[in-house]
Amino acid sequence: DAKTTQPPSMDCAEGRAANLPCNHSTISGNEYVYWYRQIHSQGPQYIIHGLKNNETNEMASLIITEDRKSSTLILPHATLRDTAVYYCIVSPTGFQKLVFGTGTRLLVSP
Protein backbone atom coordinates (compact mmCIF):
# COMPACT_ATOMS: atom_id res chain seq x y z
CA ASP A 1 0.00 0.00 0.00
CA ALA A 2 1.15 3.49 -0.79
CA LYS A 3 2.10 5.59 2.19
CA THR A 4 0.83 9.04 2.99
CA THR A 5 2.39 11.93 4.85
CA GLN A 6 0.35 14.48 6.76
CA PRO A 7 1.25 17.28 9.18
CA PRO A 8 0.67 16.12 12.76
CA SER A 9 -1.51 19.04 13.73
CA MET A 10 -3.24 22.14 12.40
CA ASP A 11 -5.28 24.94 13.86
CA CYS A 12 -8.20 26.72 12.28
CA ALA A 13 -10.52 29.50 13.39
CA GLU A 14 -14.21 28.73 13.44
CA GLY A 15 -15.91 29.83 10.24
CA ARG A 16 -12.72 29.83 8.22
CA ALA A 17 -11.68 27.27 5.65
CA ALA A 18 -9.51 24.41 6.83
CA ASN A 19 -7.07 23.12 4.23
CA LEU A 20 -5.51 19.79 5.15
CA PRO A 21 -2.63 18.61 2.93
CA CYS A 22 -1.54 15.07 2.19
CA ASN A 23 1.43 13.75 0.26
CA HIS A 24 1.14 10.39 -1.48
CA SER A 25 4.03 10.47 -3.91
CA THR A 26 4.11 6.69 -4.44
CA ILE A 27 0.43 6.34 -5.29
CA SER A 28 -0.37 3.80 -8.01
CA GLY A 29 -2.56 4.51 -11.00
CA ASN A 30 -5.44 2.44 -9.67
CA GLU A 31 -5.42 3.81 -6.14
CA TYR A 32 -8.02 6.19 -4.82
CA VAL A 33 -7.41 8.87 -2.22
CA TYR A 34 -9.77 8.49 0.74
CA TRP A 35 -10.27 10.90 3.61
CA TYR A 36 -11.71 9.86 6.95
CA ARG A 37 -11.91 11.62 10.27
CA GLN A 38 -12.14 10.37 13.80
CA ILE A 39 -13.72 12.36 16.55
CA HIS A 40 -12.52 11.40 19.99
CA SER A 41 -13.63 7.92 21.11
CA GLN A 42 -15.71 7.27 17.99
CA GLY A 43 -15.27 5.15 14.91
CA PRO A 44 -13.82 6.85 11.82
CA GLN A 45 -16.24 8.73 9.58
CA TYR A 46 -15.94 8.76 5.83
CA ILE A 47 -15.56 12.22 4.31
CA ILE A 48 -14.74 11.96 0.62
CA HIS A 49 -12.67 10.11 -1.93
CA GLY A 50 -11.40 10.62 -5.45
CA LEU A 51 -9.20 9.17 -8.18
CA LYS A 52 -8.10 11.99 -10.47
CA ASN A 53 -10.68 14.71 -10.56
CA ASN A 54 -11.53 17.12 -7.81
CA GLU A 55 -14.54 16.09 -5.80
CA THR A 56 -17.05 17.94 -3.66
CA ASN A 57 -19.81 16.77 -1.38
CA GLU A 58 -21.82 18.22 1.45
CA MET A 59 -18.96 17.82 3.88
CA ALA A 60 -15.84 18.84 2.01
CA SER A 61 -13.92 19.30 -1.21
CA LEU A 62 -10.99 17.20 -2.35
CA ILE A 63 -8.36 18.70 -4.60
CA ILE A 64 -5.95 16.23 -6.21
CA THR A 65 -2.89 17.51 -8.06
CA GLU A 66 -2.51 16.62 -11.69
CA ASP A 67 0.37 14.24 -10.98
CA ARG A 68 -1.71 12.72 -8.16
CA LYS A 69 1.21 12.91 -5.77
CA SER A 70 -0.61 15.09 -3.29
CA SER A 71 -4.07 16.23 -2.33
CA THR A 72 -5.82 18.75 -0.12
CA LEU A 73 -8.99 18.29 1.86
CA ILE A 74 -10.94 21.51 2.24
CA LEU A 75 -13.55 22.11 4.91
CA PRO A 76 -15.03 25.37 3.61
CA HIS A 77 -16.44 26.71 6.87
CA ALA A 78 -14.96 24.88 9.82
CA THR A 79 -17.04 24.52 12.97
CA LEU A 80 -16.06 23.41 16.46
CA ARG A 81 -17.53 20.00 15.68
CA ASP A 82 -14.94 19.54 12.95
CA THR A 83 -12.24 19.15 15.59
CA ALA A 84 -10.94 15.64 14.94
CA VAL A 85 -8.06 13.60 13.59
CA TYR A 86 -8.15 13.52 9.79
CA TYR A 87 -6.69 10.58 7.92
CA CYS A 88 -5.64 10.53 4.29
CA ILE A 89 -5.46 6.98 2.93
CA VAL A 90 -4.77 5.55 -0.51
CA SER A 91 -6.38 2.29 -1.51
CA PRO A 92 -7.28 0.56 -4.78
CA THR A 93 -10.86 -0.07 -3.73
CA GLY A 94 -13.23 0.22 -0.82
CA PHE A 95 -13.03 -3.53 -0.33
CA GLN A 96 -9.40 -3.39 0.60
CA LYS A 97 -8.00 -3.03 4.09
CA LEU A 98 -7.19 0.54 5.00
CA VAL A 99 -3.76 1.41 6.35
CA PHE A 100 -4.09 4.32 8.74
CA GLY A 101 -1.16 6.67 9.25
CA THR A 102 -0.90 9.11 12.11
CA GLY A 103 -3.25 11.65 10.53
CA THR A 104 -3.61 15.37 11.19
CA ARG A 105 -5.14 16.55 14.42
CA LEU A 106 -7.28 19.56 13.49
CA LEU A 107 -8.27 21.91 16.26
CA VAL A 108 -11.00 24.40 15.44
CA SER A 109 -11.14 27.27 17.88
CA PRO A 110 -13.75 29.98 18.48
Partner 1 sequence: GAVVSQHPSRVICKSGTSVKIECRSLDFQATTMFWYRQFPKQSLMLMATSNEGSKATYEQGVEKDKFLINHASLTLSTLTVTSAHPEDSSFYICSASPETSGGLGEQFFGPGTRLTVL
Enumerate binding residues for partner 1 (CB under 8 A).
34, 36, 38, 41-46, 49, 87, 93-103
Q: How many CB atoms lie within 10 A of CB 92?
A: 13
In whole angstroms, what is the distance from residue 102 CA to residue 86 CA? 9
Q: How far is the CB of 105 from partner 1 (least distance, A)?
A: 10
Q: How far is the CB of 6 from partner 1 (least distance, A)?
A: 11
Q: Which is nearer to partner 1, 13 or 71 (CB)?
A: 71
Q: Which is nearer to partner 1, 15 or 92 (CB)?
A: 92
Burial grade of 58 (CB within 10 A; 0-12, 13-18, 19 or more): exposed
In whole angstroms, what is the distance from residue 82 CA to residue 47 CA? 11
Q: Which is nearer to partner 1, 32 or 72 (CB)?
A: 32
